[in-house]
Amino acid sequence: MKKLIAAASGILMLIPFVNSLNSEAINFPLNTQIQSESAMVINIDSDTIIHEKNPDVQQMPGPLVNIMTAIVCLENCEDLNEEITVDEAVYSDLYSSRYAEDIRDADIYDGDVLTINDLLYAMMLTSSVEASSTLAYHVGDGDINAFVDMMNAKAQELGCGSTNFTNPTGMYDMNQYTTARDMAEITMYALDVPLFEDIATTWSYTPSIPNFDNHPTQAEWYWTHSNIMMEEDGEYTYKGAKGIKTGNLSAAGRNLIALASRDGNNYMVVLLKSPLKDAEGKTQFYHLEDAIDIFDWAFDNFSYQVVLPATAEKDEVSVTLAEGNDYVLARPKEEVSMLWYDEVDTALIKSDGENIKLDKESFQAPIKKGDRLGELTLTYSGEVLGTVELVAVSDVERSVSKYNLYAAKRFAKSEWFNKALLISSILSAVYILICIYSFICYKNNAKPVKSVYAIPKVGKKKKKRNKD
For the chain, report the end-to-end CA distance as a whole number of angstroms. Answer: 154
pLDDT score recorded for residue 362: 92
Q: Which residues contact 350 (CB under 8 A, 6 or more apart)?
A: 378, 379, 380
Edge-first strand order for the sheet with 241-246 is 48-53, 38-43, 265-274, 254-262, 241-246
Neighbour tally for 293: CB within 10 Å: 17
Q: How far apart are CA 261 and CA 51, in angstroms?
A: 17
Q: What is the DSSP letter of 397?
A: P
pLDDT for position 237: 97
Of the candidates 268, 348, 278, 276, the one whose C-alpha atom is nearest the C-alpha of residue 308 is 348
Longest dimension (CA), the chain: 178
**Amino acid, single-letter form, for residue 388:** V
- Phi, psi (rounded to 5 degrees) for 249: -135, 135
- The answer to whether the beta carbons of residues 411 and 336 sit under 8 Å apart is no
Report the distance separating Cα 118 and Cα 130, nearest Å: 12
Which stretches in the chain have pLDDT values below 50?
Answer: 1-23, 454, 463-467
CA–CA–CA angle 125, 191, 230 (5° rounding): 40
| Residue 429: per-residue pLDDT | 86
- For 8-146, strand residue ranges (E) read 38-43, 48-53, 83-85, 113-115
Phi, psi values for residue 359, rounded to 5° = -70, -30
CB within 8 A of 317, min separation 6: which ones? 327, 328, 329, 330, 358, 362, 363, 373, 374, 392
DSSP assignment of 37-70 equals: SEEEEEETTTTEEEEEESTTS-B--GGGGHHHHH
SS3 85: strand
Among residues 218, 226, 209, 244, which one has the least CA distance to residue 117? 209
Q: Give tens-digit pLDDT for 251-286.
A: 999 999 999 999 999 999 999 999 999 999 999 999
Distances (CA, A) of 178 to 126, 246, 434: 21, 15, 87
Strand ranges (DSSP E) for 20-178? Answer: 38-43, 48-53, 83-85, 113-115
Instruction: Yes or no: say if 226 and 66 are a contact pair by the CB < 8 Å rule.
Output: no
What pLDDT was estimated at residue 231? 96
425 burial via Cβ count (<10 Å: 0-12, 13-18, 19+): exposed
Tell me, yes or no, if the pTM score tops 0.85: no
What's the residue count for the chain?
A: 468
Q: Which phi and psi (to 5°) does residue 180 adopt?
A: -60, -40
Residue 68: which region, alpha, beta or left (left: phi > 0; alpha: psi -120 to 50)? alpha
Ramachandran region of residue 40, left (φ > 0), alpha (ψ -120 to 50) or beta? beta
Please state, in angstroms and rounded to a whole number, the distance separating the CA atoms of residues 388 and 465: 125
Which residues are within 8 A (CB) of 102 and not within 5 positions of it... i.e. 6 or more apart?
Answer: 62, 171, 172, 248, 249, 250
Please state, in angstroms and rounded to a whole number, the distance separating the CA atoms of residues 178 and 185. Answer: 11
Say what the pLDDT of residue 65 is.
98
- Residues 168, 133 contacting (CB under 8 angstroms): yes
- The residues, ordered by sequence, that sit 6+ positions from 152 with a Cβ below 8 Å of its Cβ are 163, 164, 165
Tell me the helix, strand and coil percentages in the chain, rounded to 5.
35, 25, 40
The residue type found at 404 is: N
Q: Is 23 left (phi over 0), alpha (psi -120 to 50) or beta?
A: beta
Q: Which of 225, 276, 236 is nearest to 254 (CA)?
A: 276
Give the Cα separation of 376 and 353 in Å (integer): 10
